Amino acid sequence: MSPETESARKKARIIRWRGVMGDSRRVLRLMVFVVLAVTGVALTFTQLGFVDVPLEDGSDGYVVTLLQVVALGALLLGTFAGMVLGLLTGAVLLLHAQLLPLDHYELSFITPITSVVMFGFVGLLLGVLLAVALRKNPSQIRRVIYIFIVCLVASFLYSLGFYFNVGISVVIHIVDTLGLEANDPAVLKIANSTATQLGSIETQVWGTALVMTLLCSVGDCLARKVVMHRGILGLRTVFGAWLSVVVALSFMVMAAVSFGVSSADALHDAEDDMRNEVNYLCTQMKLGGKRVELLQETLSQAGVETSDIDEATLTGLSDLLADDVVLSGFTPNSDDIVIIEFDGRVYASNDERFTVGMDMSQTFFGDSSSAIERSKENQQIERFIFVDPARKLDAENRSLTAPDAPEVHPHIAYVYAQHSYDFAIDTEEASDEGVISADVVMIRSSDQVFAKRPEVMTWMTASSLVLLLAVFVIVFQLLNRVVAKRIDDENAALSLITSGNLDARAEAGGTREFESLTEGINDTVDTLRGWIAEAESRMDAELATARAIQESALPSTFPPYPDIPKFDIFASMNAAKQVGGDFYDFFLIGEDCDDSQGKLGFVIADVSGKGVPAALFMMRAKALLRDYLASGMEIGEAVSEANRLLIEGNDEGMFVTAWVGVLDYGTGHVDYVNAGHNPPLLWQREGGWQWLRRKSGPVLGLFEISYRALEVDCLAGDTFLLYTDGVTEAFDVDEQLYGEDRLMAVAENGYRMHPRELLESVRSDVAKHANGAEQSDDITIMTLEVGVPPEVTATLEVPAEVSQLTAVNEFLHSELDRRLCPQRVQNQLDIAVEELFVNVCHYAYPEATPDEPGAVRIQRTYCADPPSITVDIIDEGIPYNPLEKPDAVTPGNIKDVPIGGLGILMAKRCTDEMLYERVNGSNVVTIVKKW
């Protein structure tokens, strides 16, 4: 960028500076402008625009408050606005000077140049200087300093300009009216004295500058706060701002009105007062007789040559005079200036500035008639004309030395003027009306007329300020209580609700609108809650259905292959609240499986995720694995193929961990594939429980790879314990995981148990650990015992000797313990078995000898579903049915107790079923005990 363009841009930026509020909304800027403009007008018309500060040396200082408005405008709204406000304020000032001039200065000195042009210029200047000072956004302290400097400069320039202008005007005026030369020392003297009496320039400069700085700094601070506030304003702020504006404008209106009223009042009072005095004076003068001598004497005392005035004139005059001192008894206001004029000359006055004989037409301000005209137009002169018919003088008899002197038109008038220096006389008008009397001019300065006004205004200003402030505070508080707080309460309730607490209630009330709003909110929330509950229950119903479908897909009949005694398998899946993705599966592989040889495929798996998508993926995975494996394909290949198909169409990136095994139950050989699944536990004769940690590959469904088959050889009794991470990752209330160690511990505890009991033992241990914490994942467990038939039938043959009871008990207990049969139940079985076995020992073989006691066969059959044990006691002795004996009656007392028979009663009572059969020469007593 070239330096010229750069500097041009800089200049443009300065000129176009939009003030501290530059970035605010248009409405706000407009509002500020309007308020400032109104303030300027109000200040002008209530004459607070020029604050008169009386100084010790008798002169006056001014603080130009109008400049504050312009300065604020330039600061807040920018260069252009400052200039416009300046022009506006200046125009209003000009208007005021024409209509209601404060004093003769204002009347004479407020020209378009000193008002419009000067104020406009100052506004522009302020804008430019502030733009330069503040555009780089300096720190707070610097801002105040810069503002002070700018205000000082502006104030100084303005004051200087004003005084300069005043000086020039004075000179022009003197030259015009007195006909003196511009370089006459008298002119300078007069100009100086005017300037001195105008007031101290220093006071004006410093006073204005300080007030300007204060206002501008405060305004700057507030404006920056407003501008920097991004986002929406609060109710209280907006209301407070508008209320402030209303209150401020009200204040100005009240000030203006009371100013006007008190002015009119004062004027009226002054009029009445002066009228009364003049009346009195005229009366006095009517009563006066010819006092030529007195007149002559007076005039000669004054050094006026009475030869200038002819006798007739003097006579006429003296007719009008009172007997004694002309002015005796006349009590004008102490400051009132009273001049009795006769034909353009001072006859008598109470003010030394108007010496007797002074030519009234030769006034300092000359051109009295035009002054009068202007004053009349401005309604600054009140003319009161006293008509005394008895005093009509013959016009022809009155003539002065001048040949074309006008006729004598003595009249009485009073003039109210802005300042003690100002006066006006008209000697011509009275002639038109033909009234004659002595001229009495009563001048009461506006200072005197409006002497009380400042006091009134001060009281009024102070009290209305206090009142309006009180109103502001009260109204604001009312808004706060009645509206804002209640809205805040409603908002608080709403934010509780939206943050998830649907039980929160809105509670604000007190007025109809708020009651209605509160009710509305609560009803809405209730309605929504109802819908949510409905939707949830619908979703719950759907999920329940999905879960039912999922669970029904898992084989749940146990034992699944009761005819194949080569393995025992048990599995369970407890779903978490959400529909999950765990599954297990088992199936025979191939067509030629029989009860001694064949292949069993068994799978446990966990799909990532929860909910319906996981359930669907789970179904696919289960079906694929089963199909490929059941077809007889090699396990590694089967899993790889299933994986490939799972990858297809798996856009969500779901995956499944799986442990797949194929047990050749003829040989005990197990091939398996672990695809990213938890390592199962395997109990083997040699080594006990070991983790089977080898993995074949990663999870299924993501990567197309080929899975490696692993293998292990099992002996009868070897047991697999497979599970999903719902087991190891079950939390308790303290977020402790169940973990592998606990699983190992419970497995070691239950290694003698059958698969179903082992699984139950694991499940109850996990539940105990969780201790009430919510289940977060499906818990799936599968146990497989190789080489152990699912329903164990075993036989023990013992000699028919009572001492063998111990062995019989042991034989039964070992199975029952493995089956987690409760002790109480075992006790009851023992009672029955003891009774029956002892019976056999005592009665079945009557021809038994110690060497040949006879044999008893005990056969136990465990049935898993429902759990029960069937014990057959078989002997080949004489036919004997222990059930034939009638039931012993429960003894009422000890005498009735039969020694025999009690045992059978007890046996019957301790078992669920007791049967006798004579089969092929054998007694078979069968008892069934369930638990």
Partner 1 sequence: MEIKVIDEGKPYVIGIVGRLDTNTSPQLEEFAKGLYAKGVNEIVVDMSECVFVSSAGLRVIVAMQKQAAVSGSLVFRGVVSDVMEVFQMTGFDNILTFE
Our CB check for partner 1 shows the closer of 401 and 827 to be 827
CA angle 378, 383, 386 (to 5 degrees): 170
Torsion, CA 225, CA 228, CA 234, CA 235, rounded to 10:
60
| Nearest-approach distance from CB 558 to partner 1, in angstroms | 30
d(CA 448, CA 751): 122
Our CB check for partner 1 shows the closer of 671 and 830 to be 830
d(CA 375, CA 387): 23
d(CA 284, CA 271): 20
By C-alpha distance, which of 104, 59, 63 is closest to 199?
59
Binding-site ranges for partner 1 (CB under 8 A) = 802-803, 805-806, 823-824, 827-828, 830-831, 834-835, 838, 890-895, 897, 899, 902-903, 905-907, 909-910
The string of DSSP codes covering 411-437 is: -EEEEEESSTT-----SSHHHHHT---
Query: Which residues have C-beta within 8 Å of that of residue 563, sequence separation ≥ 6?
Result: 595
Our CB check for partner 1 shows the closer of 671 and 834 to be 834
Our CB check for partner 1 shows the closer of 1 and 894 to be 894
| Nearest-approach distance from CB 828 to partner 1, in angstroms | 8
| Nearest-approach distance from CB 892 to partner 1, in angstroms | 7
Our CB check for partner 1 shows the closer of 530 and 891 to be 891
d(CA 217, CA 209): 12
Q: Which helix (H) or strand (E) holds 219?
A: helix 201-228
Cα of first residue to Cα of last residue in the chain, in angstroms, is: 100
544-548 LR contacts (CB < 8 Å, sep 24+)? 546/579, 546/612, 546/615, 547/575, 547/579, 547/615
Our CB check for partner 1 shows the closer of 479 and 848 to be 848
Our CB check for partner 1 shows the closer of 545 and 890 to be 890
The string of DSSP codes covering 515-545 is: HHHHHHHHHHHHHHHHHHHHHHHHHHHHHHH
| Nearest-approach distance from CB 788 to partner 1, in angstroms | 29
7-15 LR contacts (CB < 8 Å, sep 24+)? 13/131, 13/135, 14/79, 14/128, 14/131, 14/132, 14/135, 15/79, 15/80, 15/128, 15/131
| Nearest-approach distance from CB 903 to partner 1, in angstroms | 3
Our CB check for partner 1 shows the closer of 55 and 897 to be 897
Asked if 654 contacts 607 with a C-beta cutoff of 8 angstroms, the reply is yes
| Nearest-approach distance from CB 894 to partner 1, in angstroms | 5
Locate 412 and state its tokens.
Answer: 């009485």
By C-alpha distance, which of 244, 183, 218, 335 is closest to 39?
244
How is residue 572 annotated by DSSP? E
Three-state secondary structure along 664-681?
Answer: ECCCCEEEEEEEECCCCE
Our CB check for partner 1 shows the closer of 437 and 839 to be 839
| Nearest-approach distance from CB 887 to partner 1, in angstroms | 11
Our CB check for partner 1 shows the closer of 343 and 835 to be 835
d(CA 777, CA 771): 15
Our CB check for partner 1 shows the closer of 463 and 827 to be 827
Q: What are the start-end ranges of the H helices in 631-715?
A: 635-647
By C-alpha distance, which of 355, 367, 336 is closest to 108?
367
Our CB check for partner 1 shows the closer of 133 and 807 to be 807
Backbone angles phi, psi at 144, to 5 degrees: -60, -45
| Nearest-approach distance from CB 824 to partner 1, in angstroms | 5
d(CA 83, CA 445): 36
Our CB check for partner 1 shows the closer of 152 and 831 to be 831
By C-alpha distance, which of 40, 110, 98 is closest to 73?
40
Q: How far is CA 789 from the centre of its chain?
A: 72
| Nearest-approach distance from CB 864 to partner 1, in angstroms | 24
| Nearest-approach distance from CB 882 to partner 1, in angstroms | 12
Our CB check for partner 1 shows the closer of 681 and 829 to be 829
